[in-house]
């Protein structure tokens, strides 16, 4: 497979890692529905309605990758399970979350209730998910000690990717693994990983407030 950086290859601009705006909600919904239909699995535990997406954005629990033309190439969200009725429909997920909180003697608000990455099918941006996770952890790191999520065991590809990001299974049932991510440890690991792959890229800093 030809690298996008090979001579003669078409250059694909890097997306901007950003915080979604409220007017991005239709794009977030479209991206999630389109990729879920392509996958053929109910693997994306994300809000379904515009008001719930608004709550997620206003809580600053989501980051996105924005292309120059305004399209979204993906997003990484945390603490979104309460917005998809997990409390009512999947009480065992809340029970697993409580197991994690009790293990480390943490209040429930210090452990995100859910995490989900949704990445568009763009092979040119092979490290996009890592960049999104790093930015998400930077933004939520003062609020959460750990991220928590649930993954069906049949979704072996997602389990493999999560493990490569530093997630580990702390509890499992017949059909699901419950995963945890140490926020501080993952940030250190991602910083090293991304520097090795982009050694000459200047660090992007947010613009100072005026």
Average pLDDT over residues 77-106: 90
- Break the chain into its structural domains and give their ranges: 16-197
Residue 166 has pLDDT above 90, yes or no: yes
- Determine the pLDDT at residue 44: 84
| Alpha carbon distance 84, 51 (integer Å) | 12
pLDDT in tens, 92-138: 999 999 999 999 999 999 999 999 999 997 644 568 999 999 999 99
Average pLDDT over residues 152-177: 94
CA 121 to each of CA 83, 98, 124: distance values in angstroms, whole numbers, following the listed order:
25, 34, 9
- Determine the pLDDT at residue 203: 46
Residue 1 has pLDDT above 60, yes or no: no
Provide, rounded to the nearest whole percent, the portion of the chain with pLDDT above 90: 66
- Determine the pLDDT at residue 194: 58
- Determine the pLDDT at residue 125: 55
Q: Is 157 left (phi over 0), alpha (psi -120 to 50) or beta?
A: alpha
- Determine the pLDDT at residue 121: 73
Provide, rounded to the nearest whole percent, the portion of the chain with pLDDT above 70: 80
Helix%, strand%, coil% for the chain, nearest 5: 40, 20, 40
Residue 169 has pLDDT above 60, yes or no: yes
Query: Higher-confidence residue: 197 or 185?
Result: 185
Among candidate residues 184, 180, 108, the one with its CA nearest the CA of residue 147: 180
Phi/psi at 53 (nearest 5 deg)? -60, -40
Residue 208 has pLDDT above 50, yes or no: no
Average pLDDT over residues 5-32: 80
Residue 206 has pLDDT above 50, yes or no: no
* Model pTM above 0.75: yes
Q: What is the DSSP string of 38-72?
A: HHTS-------SHHHHHHHHHTT-EEEEE-TTS-E
CA 136 to each of CA 34, 49, 131, 190, 193: distance values in angstroms, whole numbers, following the listed order:
23, 22, 9, 12, 16
Residue 198 has pLDDT above 70, yes or no: no
Domain 16-197 sits in CATH 3.90.550.10: no
């Amino acid at each position: 497979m030809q690298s996008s950086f090979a001579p003669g290859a078409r250059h694909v601009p890097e997306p901007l890692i950003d915080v979604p705006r409220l007017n991005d909600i239709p794009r977030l919904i479209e991206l999630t529905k389109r990729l879920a239909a392509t996958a053929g699995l109910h693997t994306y535990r994300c809000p379904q309605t515009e008001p719930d997406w608004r709550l997620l954005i206003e809580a600053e629990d989501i980051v996105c990758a924005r292309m120059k033309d305004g399209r979204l190439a993906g997003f990484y969200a945390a603490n979104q399970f309460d917005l998809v009725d997990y409390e009512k429909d999947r009480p065992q997920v809340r029970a697993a979350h409580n197991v994690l909180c009790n293990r480390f003697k943490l209040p429930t608000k210090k452990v995100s209730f859910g995490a989900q990455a949704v990445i568009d099918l763009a092979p040119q941006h092979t490290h996009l998910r890592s960049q999104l996770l790093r930015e998400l952890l930077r933004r939520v790191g003062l609020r959460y000690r750990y991220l928590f999520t649930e993954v069906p065991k049949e979704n072996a590809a997602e389990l493999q990717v999560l493990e490569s990001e530093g997630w580990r299974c702390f509890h499992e049932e017949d059909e699901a693994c419950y995963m945890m991510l140490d926020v501080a440890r993952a940030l250190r690991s991602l910083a090293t990983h991304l520097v090795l792959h982009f050694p000459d890229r200047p660090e992007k800093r947010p613009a100072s407030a005026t």
